[in-house]
């Protein structure tokens, strides 16, 4: 991955405590997994930013390499990769996600 793309991704992640790379937007998710993560975050009242990977193919492919994670959505908290849909749902069930985001 080139430095410009890496810097762009790092800047997006650093723009908010909670950051979600997803397909679509929180108000109009374009896949069930992205919808699931936004629903979890919404139910917790989390304040987060997101990026629609369908709008930029370089970010869509780059984020997979950046996190060494093959799928989207990808959730970051405090700049740290947390996981995708299944991990986020499980963390919310266990209460771990709420502790991590401070709600």
**CA 44 centroid distance within chain:** 15
Has 75 been labeled as part of a binding site?
Answer: no
Q: Which residue has the tokens 């780059």?
A: 62
- What burial letters (b/e) apply to 13-22, b meaning 16+ CB within 10 Å? beeebbbbbb
Residues 6+ apart with CB under 8 A from 16: 47, 48, 49
Residue positions forming the annotated binding site for [2Fe-2S] cluster: 31
Residue positions forming the annotated binding site: 31
């Amino acid at each position: 991955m080139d430095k410009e793309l890496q810097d762009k991704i790092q800047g997006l992640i650093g723009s908010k405590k909670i950051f979600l790379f997803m397909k679509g937007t929180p108000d109009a998710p374009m896949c069930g997994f992205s919808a699931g993560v936004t629903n979890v975050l919404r139910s917790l009242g989390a304040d987060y930013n997101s990026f629609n990977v369908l709008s930029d193919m370089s970010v869509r492919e780059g984020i997979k390499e950046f996190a060494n994670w093959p799928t989207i959505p990808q959730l970051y908290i405090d700049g740290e990769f947390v996981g995708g849909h299944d991990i986020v749902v499980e963390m919310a069930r266990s209460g771990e996600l709420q502790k991590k985001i401070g709600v």
